[in-house]
Chain A
Amino acid sequence: MTLSGRAAMPAAAAPAAASPPEVRAFVTPEGVDLRLRIGGAGERAAAFILDAVFLLITVIVMTLLVSFGATALAGLGAVGVKNNLSSVLLIVWLLGFFMLRNGYFVLFEFTPRAATPGKRILGLRVAARDGGRLTAEAVFARNAMREIEVFLPLTFLLAAGVGATNPIGGWLVLLGLVWTGGFALLPLFNRDRLRVGDLVAGTWVVKSPRERLSIDLLDAQVAAAGRFAFSAEQAGAYGIKELYVLEDVLRRKDAKTMAAVAERIRAKIGWAKAADEADDAFLAAYYGALRGRLETRLLFGHRRRDKFDAA
C-alpha cells in the first residue's frame, strides 16, 4: 500500500521537498530545474565590503598619482602649459571619481560573469529573476539604487559626527539614519535577500560556484572490494541521506571521523571486524554496496530518502 503510494509520486518532487531553504526552482526553457541557490546576506555583505575596499584603494592610488603629477608639474617651466596640464589632471580625477562611483559595479556586472570582483571571490553572480537575460537596464537600475542604500546612510552617518553637538540636529540625523538604514538592511527582511536595487531591477544574486569534477569514489575502491561481501539486508540498512553523509566523510579523509563512522555502521549492520580490516577500506566498500543497492532501487522508482524511509 505504501509502496504504490510512493511509486505514484513523481521522482522530482521528492528532493524538492527536502531541499535547503536557499534553493529556488529555476526552470530553463529546456524544462530542467537548475535549482539555483540564493546568495546569503553574509556573503552579499562580504562581497560588498571587498568591492568597497577595492574602490577605496583605487581612489587613493588615483589621488596619489594625480597629486604626484601636480607636484611634478610645479617644477616645470612655462606657466601656460603648466596650468593646462594641471587642469587636465584635475579633470581626470573628477571624471575618474565619478566613473568609479557609478561605473565600477555597472561595468563589471555587464561582463559574462555578471559579477564584481568581490562577488567573484565569494562565488556570486547577478541574474534576472524571471530567468531571462540580464539587461543593461537592469544592471544600471540595480546599481543606481546604491545611492539610497549606501551613500545616503553614509551621509547621515557623517552628519551624525558633525551634528552631535546640536540636540535637535542630532535627533533629525538619528531619524534620517533609521529611515535610510531601512533601505540598506532590506535584504535581511525578505526570503530572496533582495536589496532595493534588486527589487527595482528585477534581479537577484545567486551562487555560481565553480565546482570541480572530483573522482567517483567507486573507482577508487575497486581493488579492495573483493574481501567485503554485504548481504542485501546489510547493504540496505541506510537511505540516501546517510549515503551523502558517508560520501562526505570519505572525501574528507579524516581518520578520526572515519573510525567513528565505521564503528557505528558495523554496529548497525552487525559486521564483525576482521583483525587487519582498515576503516577506510571498509567504508569505501560499504559505500559502494549501499550506493549500488539504492541506485538499483532508484531505477525501479523507489527513492529511499533516509534510514527511516520504508520505501
Chain B
Amino acid sequence: MKDLQLKSQRFRAEREGDWRRLEGLLNRVERGSVATLSDEELLALPVLYRQALSSLSVARATSLDHSLIDYLESLSTRAYFFVYGTRAGLRQRLALFFAETWPAAVKGLWRETLVSFAITAVAAIVGYLLVASDPGWFGGLVPGALTEGRDPTASTKYLHDTLYHSEAKASLAVLASFLFSHNAQIAIFAFALGFAFCLPTAFLLADNGLTLGAFFWLFGSRGLAFQLGGWLFIHGVTELFAIILGGAAGFRIGWRVAFPGDKTRLDAAAEAGRAAAPVIAGVVLMLVVAGLLEGFARQLITNDAGRYAVALSTLVIWLGYFYLPRRRRRAAA
C-alpha cells in the first residue's frame, strides 16, 4: 500500500513549533503583561504572526484536517488583534487626548454646539417669560426635588440665604462628588439619547433651560438676579458648557443617523460616534471640575465679585482651550 505520510502531515510537523511559540507569547500578552516580553520576543511576534497566516492559507488550500484549520484560524485571529491592536502607553494616549483629540473634537462639533446653546438659551428665556406671565408655571417647570423651598411663596430673606449659606465643611466633598456623578450621568445620557434622532436630547436641553429661566425669574423678582448669577455661574459656566457639549455630541449622532448623506447609515453612525465620543469623555472631566467648583469654591467664596471672577476665568479658559487655533503637532503621524 502507499505511504500514509501525507504532505499535510509533514507540513504540520515542520511548523508546529512556531505555532506553539506564537500561542505561548499570545497567552502571556493576553494576560495583560506586554511588558514581560523581551525585545527579542516582541520582534518575533509579527514574524510568527505572518508565518501563522501563511500556514493558514496553505492549510486551507492543501489540508483537510478540520481541527488544524480551526486552530490556525483562532491563532491567526488572536495574533492579528495583537499585531494590529493599539499599543501606545496609557500616558501617551492621555497626553494626545488633552493636546489634540479632545479640543479638535469639540471644535469639530461647533455647529451642533451652537444649536445646543441656542436651545438652552431660548428655553431659558421662554421659562423666564412663562413664569413672569403666571407664577403658577414655576411648579410645572422646576422639578420639586430641585426647589428645596425655593419657590414663589418663599421669603426674600430665605432666598438670599440659600445663595450664601455655607454648609458644614466636611460635607462639601460629598456634595461635590454627588453633583459630579449625577451631572455626568445626565451628560452621558444626553449623548446616548441623541441616537433617537436628536429629539430627546433637545428635550433634555430645553428642560434644563426652562428650569434655569424659572429660577432667574424667581430670584430676579426679589432683586436677587445678580447674586443668583454669581451663585450659579461660578460652576455653571463649566457645567452648562459641559451639558451643551453633551447635547451637541448627541445631535451629531442623531443627525447623521437620520441624514447619512452619501454614506451608508451604518458608516455615517460609526463616523459620528467616533467624532463625538472624545467630546463626551471630556465632558465627564469638565463635570469633575464643575463638581469641585460647586462643592468647594461656591461654598468658600461668598462674595459676588469673587464668584463672577471665577466664572469669567473658567469661561475664558474653556473657550481658549477649545477654540483658539493651535499649531498642528506631528501632522504627518
The residues of A with any CB-CB pair to B shorter than 8 Å are 11-12, 15, 28-30, 32, 34-36, 80, 83-84, 87-88, 90-91, 94-95, 97-98, 101-102, 111-114, 125, 127, 129, 131-138, 140-142, 144-148, 151-152, 179, 183, 194, 196, 199-202, 208-214, 216-219, 222, 225-226, 229, 240, 243-244, 247-248, 251, 288, 291-292, 294-295, 298-299
Residues of chain B from 47 to 83 with CB closer than 8 A to chain A in the complex: 50, 53-54, 56-57, 60-68, 70-71, 73-78, 80-82
CB distance from B50 to the nearest CB of A (A): 6
Complex Cα distance, B307 from A104, in Å, reads: 37
B277 touches A125 (CB 8 A): no
Q: Would A98 and B184 count as touching, CB distance under 8 A?
A: yes
- Which of A94, A138, A200, A217 neighbours the largest number of chain B CB atoms within 10 Å of its CB? A200
21 interchain pairs, CB-CB under 8 A = A11-B61, A12-B60, A15-B60, A91-B174, A94-B177, A111-B32, A133-B85, A135-B86, A137-B281, A140-B281, A141-B273, A144-B277, A147-B191, A148-B192, A199-B269, A201-B274, A213-B16, A213-B23, A213-B67, A244-B64, A295-B63
Is residue B111 contacting chain A, with contact meaning CB distance below 8 A?
no
Q: When the two chains form their complex, are residues B65 and A217 in contact, meaning their CB atoms are under 8 A apart? A: yes
* Min C-beta distance of B76 to chain A, whole Å: 6
Q: Which of A144, A200, A214, A292 contacts B4 (CB 8 A)?
A: A292
Q: Identify which of B6-14, B114-122, B208-216 touches chain A.
A: B6-14
CB of A147 within 8 A of CB of B188, answer yes
Structural contact, B273 and A200, CB atoms closer than 8 A: yes
CB atoms of B274 and A137 under 8 A apart = yes
Taking residues whose C-beta sits less than 8 angstroms from the other chain, chain B's interface range is: 35 or more
Tell me, in angstroms, the Cα distance from A219 to B180 when the chains sit together: 64
CB distance from A174 to the nearest CB of B (A): 18
CA distance A12 to B2 in the complex (A): 29
Residue numbers in B under 8 Å from A28 (CB-CB): 53, 76, 80, 84
**Assembly CA distance A131 to B80 (angstroms):** 10
Q: How distant is A27 from chain B, measured CB to nearest CB, in Å?
A: 11
A136 touching B93 by the CB < 8 A rule?
yes
A98-B181, A112-B34 as given contacts; A295 in contact with B62, CB under 8 Å = yes
The answer to whether B9 and A144 touch across the interface, beta carbons within 8 angstroms, is: no
Q: Which of A179, A212, A244 is within 8 Å of B66, CB to CB?
A: A244
Docked-complex contact B66 and A200, CB < 8 angstroms: no
Q: Which residues of A contact B173 (CB under 8 A)?
A: 87-88, 91
Residues in chain B near residue A134, CB distance under 8 A: 85-86
Contact status A298-B276, CB under 8 Å: no
- When chains A and B are docked, how far (Å) is the Cα of A208 from the Cα of B70? 11
Interface residue? B110 (CB, 8 A): no
Tell me whether B68 and A137 are in contact (CB under 8 A).
Answer: no
Contact for B53 among A32, A91, A218, CB less than 8 A: A32
Known contacts A140-B277, A211-B71, A217-B65: does B196 contact A201 (CB below 8 Å)?
no
Chain B residue at minimal CB-CB distance from A142 = B273
Do B64 and A141 touch (CB < 8 A)? no
Closest to A198 in B: B270
In the complex, the chain A residue whose C-beta lies closest to that of B32 is: A111
Neighbouring A residues of B4 by C-beta, 8 Å:
218, 222, 225, 288, 292
Given the complex, which residues of A lie within 8 Å of B8, measured CB to CB? 291, 295
A132 / chain B contacts, CB cutoff of 8 Å: 84
Closest to A97 in B: B181
A251 to B196, CA, bound (A): 50
List the B side residues contacting A291 at CB < 8 Å: 6, 8, 64-65
Q: Which of B242-297 contact A (CB under 8 A)?
A: 253, 257, 266-267, 269-274, 276-278, 280-281, 284
CB-based contact B274/A141 at 8 Å: yes
In the complex, what distance in Å separates the CA atom of A134 from the CA atom of B86? Answer: 7
Minimum CB distance partner of B56 in chain A: A32
Known pairs A32-B54, A141-B280 / 16 extra A-B pairs, C-beta < 8 Å: A34-B80, A98-B180, A102-B185, A135-B86, A136-B97, A136-B281, A137-B273, A138-B274, A141-B273, A199-B195, A199-B257, A202-B274, A208-B74, A208-B78, A247-B65, A295-B63
> Do the beta carbons of B191 and A144 come within 8 Å of each other?
yes
A20 to B71, CA, bound (A): 18
- Distance in angstroms between the alpha carbons of A248 and B64 in the assembled complex: 12
Nearest CB of chain A from residue B166's CB, rounded to whole Å: 16
Report the bound CA distance from A219 to B16 in whole Å: 14
